């Protein structure tokens, strides 16, 4: 998200907080395809993703007043709402959609799963924030990067990562912890 888009989305959120339904419709129009993409990716089922998206926008409408300009960008705030809700949904036992493994056949789902190669990094070039993050991810060891991306994109827990990557739980936890530390220092913020 570039500054101009951020400003526009922040203005729309501000208008939503004042009960402006037209602004809310515009906000939905501008952001729902991206957030639906995030939910579909994490939940791997469009029907569940649609349910989550609906709940999230109702929540965004109700909580627009609590969005504070300056703390985080509008898209960051809304993405967090959607990812949190997806993680809640994944926590429920009824949802058991297998993640395609890299060593399985079935090319469609294969392509979507981050491997040790850069994969989705290539498309992670759309905003300045994303470029900086992609550069830092590229500096991580392959396994570390893969673990972090699987956790982010697919919503895998530590134990799911361990089983998917066929590594001991402790190893995967260490990769995640160190990987995150390195990302932070690479991004140069504190």
Partner 1 sequence: MRYRDKPALQDRLAAEYVLGTLRGRARTRFERWTREDATLRRCVEGWQTRLNSMADAILPVAPPRRVWKAIEAQIGSGATAPVSRADSSRAGERRAGFWESVAFWRATGLVASGMAAALLVAVAVQKPQVVQVPVDRVVEVPIERIIEVESTRMQPAYVAVLRNDAGKIAFLAYANRNSNELWFKRVDMGNPSGDMGYELWGLPTEPGGKPRSLGMIPKGESGTIRLATAADQALGDMPALAITMEPAKGSGGTATGPMIAKGDCQKFW
Among 10, 12, 75, 140, the residue binding partner 1 under the rule CB under 8 A is 75
Residue 57 makes contact with partner 1 by CB under 8 A: yes
Degrees (nearest 5) of the Cα angle 119, 37, 85? 110
Closest CA to 27 of 53, 69, 57, 71: 57
Residue 185 vs residues 80, 178, 179, 181: alpha-carbon distances, Å: 22, 11, 10, 6
Closest CA to 165 of 182, 183, 181, 145: 145
CA distance 58 to 42: 20
> Which residue, 28 or 101, is less far from partner 1 as judged by CB?
28
- The conformational region for residue 181 under phi > 0 = left, psi -120 to 50 = alpha, else beta, is alpha
Instruction: State which of positions 114-133 bind partner 1 (CB under 8 A).
Output: 120-121, 123-124, 126-127, 129-130, 133
Residue 72 makes contact with partner 1 by CB under 8 A: yes
Minimum CB–partner distance for residue 146 and partner 1 (Å): 13
- Binding stretches for partner 1 (CB under 8 A): 1, 21-22, 24-26, 28-29, 32-34, 36-38, 40-41, 46, 49-50, 53-54, 57-58, 61-62, 71-73, 75-77, 79-80, 83, 87, 91, 120-121, 123-124, 126-127, 129-130, 133-134, 137, 148-149, 151-153, 155-158, 161, 176-177, 180, 183-184, 187, 189
């Amino acid at each position: 998200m570039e500054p101009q888009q951020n400003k526009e989305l922040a203005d729309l959120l501000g208008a939503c907080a004042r009960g402006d339904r037209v602004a809310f419709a515009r906000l939905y129009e501008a952001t729902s395809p991206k957030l639906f993409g995030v939910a579909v990716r994490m939940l791997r089922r469009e029907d569940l993703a649609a349910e989550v998206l609906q709940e999230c926008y109702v929540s965004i409408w109700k909580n627009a007043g609590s969005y504070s300009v300056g703390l985080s960008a509008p898209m960051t705030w809304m993405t967090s709402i959607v990812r949190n809700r997806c993680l809640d949904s994944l926590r429920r036992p009824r949802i058991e959609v297998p993640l395609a493994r890299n060593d399985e056949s079935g090319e469609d789902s294969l392509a979507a799963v981050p491997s040790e190669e850069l994969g989705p990094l290539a498309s992670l070039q759309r905003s300045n924030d994303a470029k900086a993050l992609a550069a830092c991810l590229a500096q991580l060891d392959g396994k570390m990067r893969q673990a972090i991306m699987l956790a982010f994109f697919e919503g895998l827990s530590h134990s799911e990562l361990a089983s998917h990557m066929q590594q001991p739980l402790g190893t995967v936890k260490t990769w995640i912890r160190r990987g995150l530390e390195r990302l932070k220092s690479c991004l140069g913020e504190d």
